Amino acid sequence: MDAVHTPNEAPGSLSGLSDAVRRAECSAHPERVWLAHYDPGVPAEPEIPDVTVDALLRQSAARFPARAALAFFGRETSFAELDRQVDRFAAFLQSSGLGLGDCVSLHLPTCPAFVVAFLGTLRAGCVAAPMSPLLVERELEGLLGQTRPRLSVVMDILAPRVGSARKALSGVLRTPAGLSGLITAGLQDSMPAPIRWLYPIKARREGRWHPVPHTPETPNLFRLVAAPSSSAVATRVDSPARPTDPAVFQGTGGTTGLPKEAVLTHRNLVANAVQCQAVMAGEHGEASAVLCALPFFHIYGLTVAMNFALVIGATQVLLPKPDPDMILKAIDRYHPRYFPGIPSFYAALLGRTDLGRHDLRSIEACISGAAPLPGSVQEQFEALTGGRLCEGYGLTEASPVTHVNPVRGGGRHGTIGLPLPGTDACLVDLATGERVREAGRVGELWVRGPQVMSGYQERPAETERVLCDGWLHTGDLATMDADGYFAIAGRIKDLIIVSGANVYPREIEEVLVLHPAVAEAVAIGIPSAKKGQEPKAYVVLKDGATATEADLKAYCAESLASYKRPVSIEIRTSLPRSFVGKVLRRELIAEQAGEAPATIAD
């Protein structure tokens, strides 16, 4: 294959856009200075189909029935079969009494079970609430209490934990009669022989073998969607939902730090997938594959991997974890054209000593998000593949992508790129509330577009605070140059981003202050070469109390998922405070970095 890819332009996306048409588009949107710097063929306003998310699968199944929709450790599922499985799961939910607006929580890694459960939930008219499999019981109780799922689809190893959390909320959750509330699935359910037979042996040896028997009360997902004995069960199901109805409750801390649920509609998700399609390289419609190493329970993976693949009719090569060995084997076997990820994915591959034995030159385009993309990683990866690795930006409340560097050429390192087609963006001065118009000046980033959420579930006050006239106040500080390229300058919110996952300092702090020896606690993010950031905590002990760092770390391990646990806990006699007594987190951050506290100039 040639060293440099020259991808075809997407049909139906204004390919061969003339200079006159581009000037007309720029004139129609005078504030969108970035339009002049889009790749050729990228429209200012993509056409968003007025459909629900599950209809994307229906459309691809009609166009490419025999094409592989999913590939998992070598076992493939065609678009036609996936569509039938989704119909069967939707029919089961409806026959169990679930309907429009009812919630189903998903506790699954990236695997066929997630795809079937997610799309089947939406096709039944229900709302999906994806949750990280790493959450401990205390965290699960909080999220289940907010979303109130009638059923939970879980990986078999998680059944005891999720079942216990549901039991603690039995007075709140309306579990259908005759069901335990759990629908289980195991990774082995989707594996081909002989891996399916060997997997239990390895899982037992590693202490990960916890199969849950299929029963009427706790059914197995793949038993439910197997070929039905009754033709009535196989009847096609059409979603009763409208595009404007909620599709997903997605956990986020927003700009306040406490977890809440962003309500993303079908239109939000469809729009963002189509916006990503509009800027991506390649011929959409021809056979291609997307390497899906991102977690689907996170909105980033859900949109740029799963939903994007559904839009273009591509095969999803599913990996339950971003293991470099798995990634390289999948690339060797399926030759994916698209590989969305986070910087640590690409850096891990570049660090392999056996990389020369693998051919990565099928990869044409990768969107990197969730953390800044090091220039050296970008340059080495592009030289290795001949494709493009482009930094982007987004947030849960925007489904999530709002910006990305041009995929077919150009782009500027150190920036998050240009707003997506159909997206408006501006900067607002924190002091005056006025729009920042000078290139390079810092302001809060606001975005507006069809991908912006409808609000936070049952949080009208917080919704009103971050949404105004369609503008989403991101809580991030940024700059924009004269050509419309944006760069993140800092964060108003105090999120700690660990390997692309949001960690909210207040969650850590609330756990620590429950320790009988702790009087005060504050958490910050510290740089990590492998994970981008990791949590660090500072605590003040109660008078006369004693506790060691090891004691406090062990306490955190009982109530926090592994990626949320502080890697360092520093015990102090006091914390820096403002004149009104508020702990000055920014001083701790500056101290950790060996700097004076940073300020943003006007």
pLDDT in tens, 532-568: 999 999 999 988 999 999 999 999 999 999 999 999 9
pLDDT in tens, 119-137: 999 999 999 999 999 899 9
Q: Which two tokens stand for residue 99?
A: 């309907």
Q: Directed axis angle between helix 53-63 and helix 112-123, to 10°?
A: 110
- Cα separation of 246 and 451, whole Å? 13
* Contact yes or no for 313/63 (Cβ under 8 A): yes
- Is the pLDDT reported for residue 195 higher than 90? no
| Mean pLDDT, residues 238-262 taken together | 85
pLDDT in tens, 25-74: 445 566 899 999 999 999 999 999 999 999 999 999 999 999 999 999 99
Q: How confident is the model at residue 256 (pLDDT cuts 50, 70, 90)?
A: low
Structural domains in the chain, CATH included, are 19-50+250-421+449-462+480-486 (3.40.50.12780), 75-233 (3.40.50.980), 496-593 (3.30.300.30)
Q: Closest Cα partner for 222 from 277, 171, 153? A: 153
- Is the pLDDT reported for residue 114 higher than 70? yes
Which of helix, strand or coil describes residue 100? coil
Which of helix, strand or coil describes residue 154? strand
pLDDT in tens, 586-597: 789 888 887 644
- CA 495 from centroid of its chain's CA atoms: 15
Strands (E), 143-287: 151-155, 182-185, 246-252, 260-265
Strand partners, 426: 446
- Is the pLDDT reported for residue 257 higher than 90? no
- Cα separation of 238 and 192, whole Å? 30
Average confidence score pLDDT of the chain? 87
The one-letter code for the residue type at 422 is: G
Alpha-carbon distance values, 470 to 345, 452, 461 (Å) = 34, 8, 15
- The residue with tokens 């065609």 is 78
Per-residue model confidence (pLDDT) at position 285:
67
Q: Which ranges in 78-136 belong to alpha helices (H)?
A: 79-95, 112-123
Cβ contacts of 157 within 8 Å, gap of 6 or more? 186, 208, 210
- Is the pLDDT reported for residue 507 higher than 90? no
∠ at Cα 453 (450, 456), nearest 5°?
165
- What's the per-residue H, E or C state across 31-81? CCHHHHHCCCCCCCCCCCCCCCHHHHHHHHHHHCCCCEEEEECCEEEEHHH
Query: What pTM value is reported for the model?
Result: 0.82
* Contact yes or no for 490/498 (Cβ under 8 A): no
Cβ contacts of 250 within 8 Å, gap of 6 or more? 129, 130, 261, 262, 264, 299, 396
CB atoms < 10 A from the CB of 161, how many? 16
pLDDT in tens, 334-368: 999 999 998 888 988 998 889 989 999 999 999 99
- Is the pLDDT reported for residue 510 higher than 90? no
Per-residue model confidence (pLDDT) at position 2:
28
Q: Which two tokens stand for residue 28?
A: 């129609």
Per-residue model confidence (pLDDT) at position 253:
65
- Cα separation of 406 and 392, whole Å? 9
pLDDT in tens, 137-185: 998 999 999 999 999 999 999 999 999 999 999 999 999 999 999 999 9
Per-residue model confidence (pLDDT) at position 410:
79
* Contact yes or no for 32/224 (Cβ under 8 A): no
- Is the pLDDT reported for residue 578 higher than 60? no
- Cα separation of 5 and 294, whole Å? 24
Position with higher pLDDT, 575 vs 128: 128
Which 8-state DSSP code applies to residue 394? E
Q: Directed axis angle between helix 375-385 and helix 343-350, to 10°?
A: 60
| Mean pLDDT, residues 449-460 taken together | 96
